[in-house]
Amino acid sequence: MTLTTWLVLALVALSVGVSKSALPGLSTLGVALIATVMPAKESTGLLLLLLLCGDLVAVSSYWRQADWRLLSRMLLPVLGGVLVGVVFLARVDDLVMRRTIGAVLLALLAVRAVRWFVDRRSARRAERDAAQDGSGDAGAADTADMPVAVVASVPAGEPAAQRPHLGVGAVYGTLAGFTTMVANAGGPVMSLYLLSVGATKLRFMGTAACFFFATNLVKLPFSIGLSLVTVDTLRTALVLVPLVLLGAVIGRRLLRSIDQKLFERLVIGLTITASIFLLR
């Protein structure tokens, strides 16, 4: 491989580490970057190995904050999505694969934007009604501009995420399984799901860490069977593992300095950027 290829791979490995410890969705940018220097299917296998390394670090750091109730609701839909992804991966070329993932992510973002707008209007209307009845309080103004899903994470203590509708969990679970199988791009789907149920920063990281560790382990035998993971990709991954660990250290320090609202905005911004990359 050329020096340029190794530099890109080094950047991807760092981004995987940071994504697993601070900014979920950043690794999807790695999907786009690595595909510029390697064939898409070969790059998928290499990235899977790097992600598994990052998963080990993330699980060891955040597993105590995982929301197991949310994870249990997604188990069967995710497995179904992975199986659909295996069939899809065996039948389509790289271009169709990338564009399909990008289109799905943008559609989910559009749905979230509509929901945010509706929730914001509902919150403001409730605030006005409460003020007219003389029952408004000073705290209402602080959350009026926030979506209902985010307001749910405001109370003191360690709030639980909202109870998701079973149908919503099934849709997100299936899409997460499908997108992570075909392009290691399940991060943005899972991010949108966790934001939609109001998961706090640490609960977000813990739930995502356990979800992707389990999912990537399930994907590994399929990836070997499809020749996405080979001896060559394993050797390359071993060279890049130290950079994944370095990225994880950087990410953990970064997470401590990011507040909840900035965290959510960064996640959404990275999801949009990744979607556009995949559609190119």
| Residues 161, 23: Cα–Cα separation, whole Å | 19
> Which of 185, 214, 189 lies closest to 56 in space, CA to CA?
214
Q: What radius of gyration do the chain's Cα atoms show?
A: 19
Whether the per-residue pLDDT at 39 is higher than 50: the answer is: yes
Q: What is the mean pLDDT of residues 218-222?
A: 90
The pLDDT tens digits of the residues spanning 197-208 come to 877 878 888 888
Reported as a single tens digit per residue, the pLDDT across 60-82 is: 888 888 888 888 888 889 999 99
What integer pLDDT is reported at residue 271 of this predicted model? 67
pTM of the model: 0.69
Q: Could you write out the DSSP letters of every residue in 162-194?
A: P---HHHHHHHHHHHHHHHHHHS-HHHHHHHHH
Alpha-carbon gap, residue 206 to 61, rounded angstroms: 8
Output the pLDDT for position 172: 85
Instruction: Report the residue count for the chain.
Output: 280
Q: Is the pLDDT of residue 142 over 50?
A: no
Helix H, strand E, coil C: the string for 253-271 is: HHHHCCCHHHHHHHHHHHH
Tens-digit pLDDT profile for residues 240-250: 999 999 999 98
Q: Of 231, 267, 207, 216, which is closest to residue 61 (Cα–Cα)? A: 207
How sure is the predictor about 147, in pLDDT bands with cuts at 50, 70 and 90? Answer: very low
Residue % of the chain over a pLDDT of 90: 17
First vs last C-alpha separation in the chain: 25
> Residue 157's pLDDT band (boundaries 50, 70, 90)?
very low
pLDDT of res. 241: 95
* Residue in this structure with the two tokens 């601070």, named with its chain if needed: 22
For position 221, what pLDDT does the model report? 92
Q: Do 192 and 173 contact (CB within 8 A), yes or no?
A: no
